[in-house]
A = this chain, B = another copy of it.
Amino acid sequence: MQLEQLGEFALIDLIKKDTINVGDSVVIGIGDDAAVLKPTPGSLQLVTTDMLVEKVHFDLLTSSAWQLGYKAIGVNLSDIAAMGGVPRHVVIAIALPKHLPVGFVVSLYDGMKEICREFGVNIVGGDTVSNPHGLVINVTVLGEIEPDKLQLRSGASVGELVVVTGTLGDSGCGLDLLMQGDWQQYDFAVPLVTRHLVPKPQVLQGPMLAALGSTSMNDISDGLASEVNELARASHVGMRIYSNLIPLSTQLQDAAPVLGKSALHYALYGGEDYQLVFTIAPEQFKVLAQVDIGAHLTVIGEVTDQSQGILLVAEDGCTSPLEAKGYNHFR
Protein backbone atom coordinates (compact mmCIF):
# COMPACT_ATOMS: atom_id res chain seq x y z
CA MET A 1 0.00 0.00 0.00
CA GLN A 2 1.15 3.54 -0.74
CA LEU A 3 0.96 6.48 1.65
CA GLU A 4 -1.67 8.30 -0.42
CA GLN A 5 -4.02 5.33 0.02
CA LEU A 6 -3.37 5.04 3.76
CA GLY A 7 -3.89 8.73 4.59
CA GLU A 8 -2.27 10.94 7.19
CA PHE A 9 -4.29 9.99 10.27
CA ALA A 10 -3.85 6.25 9.77
CA LEU A 11 -0.12 6.86 9.27
CA ILE A 12 0.09 8.78 12.56
CA ASP A 13 -1.71 5.91 14.29
CA LEU A 14 0.94 3.53 12.95
CA ILE A 15 3.76 5.83 14.07
CA LYS A 16 2.32 6.44 17.56
CA LYS A 17 2.89 2.90 18.80
CA ASP A 18 5.88 2.27 21.09
CA THR A 19 7.01 5.89 21.17
CA ILE A 20 7.18 6.37 24.95
CA ASN A 21 10.07 4.61 26.68
CA VAL A 22 10.40 6.63 29.90
CA GLY A 23 6.88 7.82 30.56
CA ASP A 24 7.16 9.68 33.85
CA SER A 25 8.34 12.91 32.16
CA VAL A 26 5.66 12.88 29.43
CA VAL A 27 2.29 14.50 30.22
CA ILE A 28 1.09 14.47 26.59
CA GLY A 29 2.97 12.81 23.71
CA ILE A 30 1.83 12.62 20.08
CA GLY A 31 -1.72 13.89 19.50
CA ASP A 32 -2.43 17.45 20.73
CA ASP A 33 -1.23 20.81 19.36
CA ALA A 34 2.04 20.39 21.25
CA ALA A 35 3.72 17.79 23.43
CA VAL A 36 3.69 18.51 27.18
CA LEU A 37 6.77 17.49 29.16
CA LYS A 38 7.92 17.63 32.78
CA PRO A 39 11.48 18.95 33.08
CA THR A 40 13.70 17.54 35.81
CA PRO A 41 13.91 20.22 38.54
CA GLY A 42 17.30 21.92 38.60
CA SER A 43 18.35 20.71 35.17
CA LEU A 44 19.22 22.86 32.19
CA GLN A 45 17.46 22.03 28.96
CA LEU A 46 19.34 21.17 25.76
CA VAL A 47 17.90 21.37 22.25
CA THR A 48 19.40 20.55 18.87
CA THR A 49 17.90 20.08 15.41
CA ASP A 50 19.14 18.52 12.15
CA MET A 51 17.65 18.27 8.70
CA LEU A 52 18.49 15.38 6.38
CA VAL A 53 17.62 15.71 2.68
CA GLU A 54 17.44 12.77 0.25
CA LYS A 55 20.31 12.70 -2.26
CA VAL A 56 22.13 15.39 -0.23
CA HIS A 57 22.59 13.62 3.13
CA PHE A 58 21.52 10.09 2.29
CA ASP A 59 20.76 7.86 -0.65
CA LEU A 60 18.09 5.19 -0.53
CA LEU A 61 20.16 3.17 -3.02
CA THR A 62 22.75 2.55 -0.31
CA SER A 63 20.81 2.95 2.97
CA SER A 64 17.79 0.95 4.09
CA ALA A 65 14.83 2.75 5.62
CA TRP A 66 15.61 1.22 9.03
CA GLN A 67 19.26 2.32 8.88
CA LEU A 68 18.23 5.83 7.85
CA GLY A 69 15.79 6.08 10.74
CA TYR A 70 18.36 4.86 13.25
CA LYS A 71 20.99 7.29 11.96
CA ALA A 72 18.66 10.31 11.72
CA ILE A 73 18.00 10.08 15.45
CA GLY A 74 21.55 9.01 16.30
CA VAL A 75 23.28 12.08 14.86
CA ASN A 76 21.10 14.30 17.04
CA LEU A 77 21.62 12.24 20.19
CA SER A 78 25.33 12.65 19.50
CA ASP A 79 24.98 16.45 19.75
CA ILE A 80 23.32 16.15 23.16
CA ALA A 81 26.02 13.73 24.35
CA ALA A 82 28.70 16.20 23.22
CA MET A 83 27.27 18.76 25.66
CA GLY A 84 27.56 16.14 28.44
CA GLY A 85 23.77 15.84 28.48
CA VAL A 86 21.18 13.09 28.50
CA PRO A 87 18.66 13.00 25.62
CA ARG A 88 15.04 12.76 26.79
CA HIS A 89 12.60 13.45 23.95
CA VAL A 90 12.52 13.83 20.18
CA VAL A 91 10.06 15.37 17.74
CA ILE A 92 10.27 14.25 14.13
CA ALA A 93 9.01 16.19 11.10
CA ILE A 94 9.07 14.29 7.86
CA ALA A 95 8.24 15.15 4.25
CA LEU A 96 7.29 12.06 2.28
CA PRO A 97 6.68 11.41 -1.43
CA LYS A 98 3.11 10.11 -1.54
CA HIS A 99 4.01 7.11 -3.70
CA LEU A 100 6.25 5.68 -0.95
CA PRO A 101 5.17 2.25 0.26
CA VAL A 102 3.71 2.30 3.78
CA GLY A 103 6.17 -0.47 4.68
CA PHE A 104 9.07 1.88 3.96
CA VAL A 105 7.78 4.46 6.44
CA VAL A 106 7.06 1.80 9.08
CA SER A 107 10.60 0.49 8.71
CA LEU A 108 12.04 4.04 8.91
CA TYR A 109 10.20 4.62 12.20
CA ASP A 110 11.23 1.15 13.44
CA GLY A 111 14.85 2.27 13.09
CA MET A 112 14.05 5.48 14.95
CA LYS A 113 12.18 3.61 17.68
CA GLU A 114 15.02 1.12 18.08
CA ILE A 115 17.64 3.75 18.95
CA CYS A 116 15.14 5.64 21.12
CA ARG A 117 14.44 2.44 23.07
CA GLU A 118 18.18 1.76 23.37
CA PHE A 119 18.74 5.12 25.08
CA GLY A 120 15.43 5.65 26.90
CA VAL A 121 14.31 8.51 24.65
CA ASN A 122 10.62 9.30 23.94
CA ILE A 123 9.15 10.29 20.56
CA VAL A 124 6.65 12.94 21.69
CA GLY A 125 5.50 14.66 18.52
CA GLY A 126 6.09 15.54 14.92
CA ASP A 127 4.66 16.55 11.60
CA THR A 128 4.03 14.45 8.49
CA VAL A 129 3.74 16.29 5.19
CA SER A 130 3.87 15.46 1.52
CA ASN A 131 6.81 16.31 -0.74
CA PRO A 132 6.97 15.25 -4.40
CA HIS A 133 10.73 15.97 -4.51
CA GLY A 134 11.91 13.33 -2.07
CA LEU A 135 12.27 12.46 1.55
CA VAL A 136 13.25 15.12 4.10
CA ILE A 137 13.67 14.23 7.78
CA ASN A 138 14.01 16.79 10.55
CA VAL A 139 14.78 15.61 14.05
CA THR A 140 14.79 17.87 17.11
CA VAL A 141 16.09 16.40 20.35
CA LEU A 142 15.46 17.76 23.82
CA GLY A 143 17.95 16.78 26.49
CA GLU A 144 18.82 17.68 30.05
CA ILE A 145 21.97 18.32 31.99
CA GLU A 146 22.93 19.33 35.51
CA PRO A 147 24.42 22.84 35.25
CA ASP A 148 27.86 21.87 36.59
CA LYS A 149 28.26 19.07 34.00
CA LEU A 150 27.82 21.30 30.94
CA GLN A 151 30.51 20.72 28.29
CA LEU A 152 31.06 23.81 26.21
CA ARG A 153 33.57 24.08 23.41
CA SER A 154 35.15 26.93 25.33
CA GLY A 155 36.17 24.95 28.44
CA ALA A 156 39.66 23.70 27.48
CA SER A 157 42.75 24.93 29.42
CA VAL A 158 46.48 24.84 28.74
CA GLY A 159 48.14 21.66 30.00
CA GLU A 160 45.11 19.42 29.55
CA LEU A 161 45.09 16.28 27.43
CA VAL A 162 43.13 15.88 24.19
CA VAL A 163 41.36 12.51 24.17
CA VAL A 164 39.06 10.70 21.72
CA THR A 165 36.68 7.75 22.00
CA GLY A 166 36.77 4.79 19.59
CA THR A 167 38.54 4.80 16.23
CA LEU A 168 38.33 7.62 13.70
CA GLY A 169 37.88 7.77 9.94
CA ASP A 170 35.88 4.56 9.55
CA SER A 171 32.64 6.25 8.52
CA GLY A 172 34.17 8.52 5.88
CA CYS A 173 36.01 5.55 4.40
CA GLY A 174 32.75 3.54 4.49
CA LEU A 175 31.04 6.29 2.50
CA ASP A 176 33.79 6.25 -0.14
CA LEU A 177 33.42 2.47 -0.39
CA LEU A 178 29.66 2.85 -0.86
CA MET A 179 30.15 5.50 -3.54
CA GLN A 180 32.66 3.29 -5.35
CA GLY A 181 30.06 0.54 -5.45
CA ASP A 182 32.05 -2.71 -5.57
CA TRP A 183 32.85 -2.78 -1.87
CA GLN A 184 31.32 -6.20 -1.27
CA GLN A 185 34.45 -7.86 -2.70
CA TYR A 186 36.54 -6.62 0.27
CA ASP A 187 36.55 -8.36 3.65
CA PHE A 188 37.41 -5.14 5.43
CA ALA A 189 34.50 -3.21 3.97
CA VAL A 190 31.47 -4.42 5.94
CA PRO A 191 32.39 -2.87 9.32
CA LEU A 192 33.39 0.42 7.63
CA VAL A 193 30.20 0.66 5.59
CA THR A 194 28.17 -0.27 8.69
CA ARG A 195 29.88 2.49 10.68
CA HIS A 196 28.76 4.93 8.00
CA LEU A 197 25.19 3.68 7.66
CA VAL A 198 24.50 2.93 11.34
CA PRO A 199 26.89 5.03 13.42
CA LYS A 200 26.80 4.41 17.17
CA PRO A 201 26.72 7.77 18.92
CA GLN A 202 28.42 7.95 22.32
CA VAL A 203 25.17 8.73 24.12
CA LEU A 204 26.09 7.18 27.46
CA GLN A 205 29.74 8.20 27.27
CA GLY A 206 29.10 11.97 26.92
CA PRO A 207 27.50 12.43 30.36
CA MET A 208 29.90 9.91 31.97
CA LEU A 209 32.91 11.86 30.70
CA ALA A 210 31.31 15.10 31.92
CA ALA A 211 30.83 13.56 35.36
CA LEU A 212 34.44 12.32 35.37
CA GLY A 213 36.01 15.69 34.68
CA SER A 214 36.16 16.47 30.95
CA THR A 215 36.35 20.23 30.41
CA SER A 216 35.29 20.71 26.77
CA MET A 217 33.79 18.32 24.26
CA ASN A 218 32.67 17.98 20.64
CA ASP A 219 31.20 15.08 18.75
CA ILE A 220 33.26 14.21 15.70
CA SER A 221 30.83 14.80 12.86
CA ASP A 222 33.01 16.75 10.40
CA GLY A 223 36.40 15.04 10.89
CA LEU A 224 38.84 15.38 13.80
CA ALA A 225 40.63 18.42 12.30
CA SER A 226 37.47 20.48 12.19
CA GLU A 227 36.39 19.52 15.72
CA VAL A 228 39.80 20.17 17.27
CA ASN A 229 39.85 23.57 15.58
CA GLU A 230 36.43 24.39 17.01
CA LEU A 231 37.48 23.47 20.55
CA ALA A 232 40.78 25.37 20.33
CA ARG A 233 39.25 28.51 18.84
CA ALA A 234 36.33 28.60 21.29
CA SER A 235 38.69 28.03 24.24
CA HIS A 236 41.38 30.47 23.00
CA VAL A 237 44.06 27.80 23.28
CA GLY A 238 46.42 25.96 20.97
CA MET A 239 46.54 22.19 20.47
CA ARG A 240 49.23 19.69 19.51
CA ILE A 241 47.82 16.53 18.00
CA TYR A 242 50.21 13.59 17.43
CA SER A 243 49.29 11.78 14.23
CA ASN A 244 50.79 8.48 15.39
CA LEU A 245 48.47 8.48 18.41
CA ILE A 246 45.20 8.89 16.46
CA PRO A 247 43.34 5.57 16.79
CA LEU A 248 42.76 3.89 13.42
CA SER A 249 40.95 0.60 12.92
CA THR A 250 42.73 -2.20 11.11
CA GLN A 251 39.90 -2.22 8.57
CA LEU A 252 40.50 1.44 7.79
CA GLN A 253 44.22 0.81 7.44
CA ASP A 254 43.47 -1.99 4.97
CA ALA A 255 40.85 -0.03 3.03
CA ALA A 256 42.45 3.41 2.71
CA PRO A 257 45.25 2.39 0.28
CA VAL A 258 42.71 0.63 -1.96
CA LEU A 259 40.86 3.96 -2.20
CA GLY A 260 44.08 5.87 -2.85
CA LYS A 261 43.97 7.83 0.41
CA SER A 262 45.72 7.52 3.76
CA ALA A 263 43.92 6.24 6.84
CA LEU A 264 45.01 9.42 8.60
CA HIS A 265 43.29 11.52 5.93
CA TYR A 266 39.99 9.82 6.74
CA ALA A 267 40.50 10.33 10.48
CA LEU A 268 41.27 14.02 10.08
CA TYR A 269 38.86 15.00 7.32
CA GLY A 270 36.30 12.20 6.93
CA GLY A 271 32.93 12.94 8.46
CA GLU A 272 30.26 11.27 10.54
CA ASP A 273 32.30 9.21 13.00
CA TYR A 274 30.13 10.46 15.90
CA GLN A 275 32.88 9.65 18.36
CA LEU A 276 33.74 12.26 21.01
CA VAL A 277 36.84 14.43 21.34
CA PHE A 278 37.36 16.07 24.72
CA THR A 279 39.90 17.77 26.93
CA ILE A 280 40.71 16.77 30.51
CA ALA A 281 43.36 17.56 33.12
CA PRO A 282 46.09 14.85 33.24
CA GLU A 283 45.48 13.95 36.91
CA GLN A 284 41.74 13.67 36.20
CA PHE A 285 42.45 11.43 33.19
CA LYS A 286 44.25 9.02 35.53
CA VAL A 287 40.98 8.61 37.43
CA LEU A 288 38.93 8.33 34.22
CA ALA A 289 41.27 5.68 32.83
CA GLN A 290 40.31 3.40 35.77
CA VAL A 291 36.62 3.51 34.83
CA ASP A 292 34.95 1.37 32.18
CA ILE A 293 32.83 3.85 30.24
CA GLY A 294 32.06 1.37 27.46
CA ALA A 295 34.38 3.00 24.95
CA HIS A 296 38.08 2.86 24.22
CA LEU A 297 39.83 6.13 25.13
CA THR A 298 43.00 7.39 23.43
CA VAL A 299 45.09 10.42 24.36
CA ILE A 300 45.99 12.05 21.02
CA GLY A 301 47.52 15.34 22.10
CA GLU A 302 47.68 18.20 24.53
CA VAL A 303 46.28 21.68 25.01
CA THR A 304 48.90 24.39 24.53
CA ASP A 305 49.03 28.15 24.66
CA GLN A 306 47.04 29.90 21.95
CA SER A 307 50.23 31.39 20.51
CA GLN A 308 51.44 27.86 19.64
CA GLY A 309 48.58 27.39 17.17
CA ILE A 310 46.75 24.22 16.27
CA LEU A 311 49.40 21.76 15.13
CA LEU A 312 49.64 18.25 13.81
CA VAL A 313 52.88 16.52 14.83
CA ALA A 314 53.76 13.82 12.28
CA GLU A 315 55.53 10.57 13.12
CA ASP A 316 58.83 12.03 11.94
CA GLY A 317 58.46 14.91 14.40
CA CYS A 318 57.56 17.52 11.75
CA THR A 319 54.77 19.84 12.80
CA SER A 320 52.29 21.54 10.47
CA PRO A 321 49.16 23.62 11.05
CA LEU A 322 46.14 21.35 11.43
CA GLU A 323 43.70 23.19 9.19
CA ALA A 324 40.06 22.21 9.08
CA LYS A 325 39.22 21.60 5.45
CA GLY A 326 36.71 24.17 4.19
CA TYR A 327 33.32 22.73 5.00
CA ASN A 328 30.57 24.41 3.01
CA HIS A 329 27.18 22.76 2.67
CA PHE A 330 26.32 25.12 -0.17
CA ARG A 331 29.08 24.07 -2.56
Contacts and interface: CB of A to CB of B under 8 A. Distances in A.
A314 interface: no
Interface residues of A, number: 75
Interface stretch (A133-141, A160-168, A181-189, A287-295): A133-141
A147 to B, nearest CB: 8
A109 B150 CA distance: 29
A124 B48 CA distance: 9
Given A6-B330, A329-B129, A138 B51 contact: yes
A234 B28 CA distance: 13
A47 B138 CA distance: 14
A51 to B, nearest CB: 4
Best-buried of A47, A83, A91, A152 by chain B (most CB within 10 Å):
A47
Nearest to A144: B39
A73 to B, nearest CB: 14
A130 to B, nearest CB: 5
A56 B143 contact: no
Nearest to A100: B330
A78 B265 CA distance: 48
A53 B8 CA distance: 16
A203 to B, nearest CB: 13
Nearest to A45: B37
Contacts of A38: 44-45
A75 to B, nearest CB: 10
Best-buried of A98, A126, A131, A141 by chain B (most CB within 10 Å):
A131
19 contacts: A3-B330, A4-B328, A7-B326, A7-B328, A33-B80, A34-B85, A34-B141, A34-B143, A36-B45, A37-B44, A37-B45, A37-B46, A37-B47, A48-B125, A50-B127, A52-B129, A56-B131, A96-B330, A136-B136
Across the A-B interface, the 6 shortest Cβ-Cβ residue pairs? A133-B133, A34-B48, A51-B93, A138-B138, A140-B140, A33-B79
